[in-house]
Structure 1
Amino acid sequence: MSTAPHPLVTSARRLAAEVLAPQAERVDQEGVPASSVEAVKRSGLLGVSAPVEYGGSAAPASVARETAEILAGACCSTWFVQTQHHTPVQTLAKSRLPVRERLLGPLARGELLSGVAYAQLRAYPRVPVRVTRERGGRRFDGMVPWYTGWGLNDVMLLAGVTEEGEALFAFTEAREQPGMRPSPPMRLAALTASRTVSLELDGLWLPEDAVALRTPYETWAATDRPKNTNASPAVFGVAASALGLLESSDGGPAAKETARVLRGRLDEVRRQAYELADHPVPTERVDERLVVKTRSYDVMRAATTAAVVAGGGRSIGLDSPAQRLAREGMFLLVQGQTAEVRTAHLGSLGSPGSLGSPGSLGPLSS
Structure 2
Amino acid sequence: MTAAPHPLLAAARTLARDLLAPNAEQVDQEWVPAGHVEALRRSGLLGVGAPREYGGAGAPDAVVREVQEILAGACCSTWFVQTQHHSPVRMLAASQSPVRERLLRPLATGELLAGIAFAHVRSFPRVPVRATAERDGWRFDGRVPWYTGWGLNDVMLLAGVTDSDEVVFAFADAREQPGLRPSPPMRLAALTAARTVSLELDGLWLPGESVVLRTAREAFALVDLPRNTNASPAVFGVADAALRVVEEAGESETARALRSRLDEVRGRVYALAAHPVPHERIAERLELKTRAYDLMRAATTAAVVAGGGRAMDLDSPAQRLAREGLFLLVQGQTTDVRRAHLDALAQI
| TM, length-normalised to structure 1 | 0.93
CA distance in 2, matches of 1:277, 1:94: 19
1:206-238 per-residue CA deviation (whole Å, 9 max, x = no partner) reads 111100101111111111123211111000000
Deviation at 1:133, TM superposition (A): 1.7
CA distance in 1, matches of 2:227, 2:172: 25
CA distance in 1, matches of 2:166, 2:127: 11
Q: 1:280 aligns with which of 273, 276, 283?
A: 276
Deviating 4+ runs (over 6 angstroms): none
1:175 aligns to what SS in structure 2?
coil
Deviation at 1:4, TM superposition (A): 5.3
Paired position in structure 2 for 1:322 = 318
Equivalent residue letter for 2:127? V
Asked if 1:127 corresponds to 2:123, the answer is no
* Structure 1, unaligned runs of 5 or more: 355-366
Paired position in structure 1 for 2:30 = 30
Paired position in structure 2 for 1:358 = none
Paired position in structure 1 for 2:175 = 175
**1:121-270 correspondence to structure 2 within 5 Å:** 121-249=121-249, 252=250, 255-270=251-266
Equivalent residue letter for 2:115? G
1:52-85 per-residue CA deviation (whole Å, 9 max, x = no partner) reads 1001111111000000000000000000000000
1:256-301 per-residue CA deviation (whole Å, 9 max, x = no partner) reads 2111100111111111111111111111111111111111111110
Moved more, 117-126 or 31-40: 117-126
Paired position in structure 1 for 2:346 = 350
Deviation at 1:3, TM superposition (A): 6.5
Q: 2:297 aligns with which of 284, 301, 316?
A: 301
Equivalent residue letter for 2:11? S
CA distance in 2, matches of 1:312, 1:138: 55
Paired position in structure 2 for 1:361 = none
Residues paired across the two proteins, number: 347
Contact 1:227 1:282 (C-alpha < 8 Å) held by counterparts: no
Instruction: Among all aligned residue pairs of Structure 1 and Structure 2, give the percentage whose two residues are the same amino acid.
Output: 71
Paired position in structure 1 for 2:72 = 72
Equivalent residue letter for 1:339? T
CA distance in 2, matches of 1:142, 1:3: 46
CA distance in 1, matches of 2:136, 2:257: 61
Deviation at 1:147, TM superposition (A): 0.1
Equivalent residue letter for 1:265? R
Asked if 1:87 corresponds to 2:87, the answer is yes
CA distance in 2, matches of 1:133, 1:300: 45
1:147 aligns to what SS in structure 2?
strand
Q: 2:336 aligns with which of 292, 315, 340?
A: 340
CA distance in 2, matches of 1:101, 1:163: 29
Contact 1:315 1:321 (C-alpha < 8 Å) held by counterparts: yes
CA distance in 2, matches of 1:290, 1:165: 27
Contact 1:117 1:157 (C-alpha < 8 Å) held by counterparts: yes
Equivalent residue letter for 2:333? Q
Paired position in structure 2 for 1:13 = 13
Contact 1:239 1:299 (C-alpha < 8 Å) held by counterparts: yes
Q: Report the aligned-residue RMSD.
A: 1.1
